[in-house]
Amino acid sequence: MSATSAIHIAALTKSFGEVDVLRGVDLDIGGGTIVALLGSNGAGKTTLVRILSTLLTADSGVACVLGFGGERARDEHVCV
């Protein structure tokens, strides 16, 4: 994670049953950056945003916003 990252995502995965929605997503977005999330239907855009907003829990990987993450990130101190 870069010191200037506002959003840090590493090896993020999420599945619903047998369907892999996110498979190893890596992303670093710097503070003050404007980003568009584009993709076809079913590409995982909403799932990614729900994980970043803590409405969903990722199966594995790290997702941090401004240094804060979900339960796994908090337990392993990976967002600091």
Domains in the chain with CATH codes? 5-76 (3.40.50.300)
49 φ, ψ (degrees, to nearest 5) = -65, -40
Running along the chain, 80 residues long, what does each successive block of 10 average in pLDDT? 82 96 95 94 95 93 87 63
Round to whole Å and give the CA distance between 12 and 22.
7
How many helices and strands, by DSSP H and E, does the chain display? 2, 4
Q: Identify the pLDDT of residue 17.
A: 95
Q: Identify the pLDDT of residue 57.
A: 92
Q: What is the reported pTM?
A: 0.85
Q: Is the four-CA dihedral 45, 49, 15, 26 of positive or negative sign?
A: positive
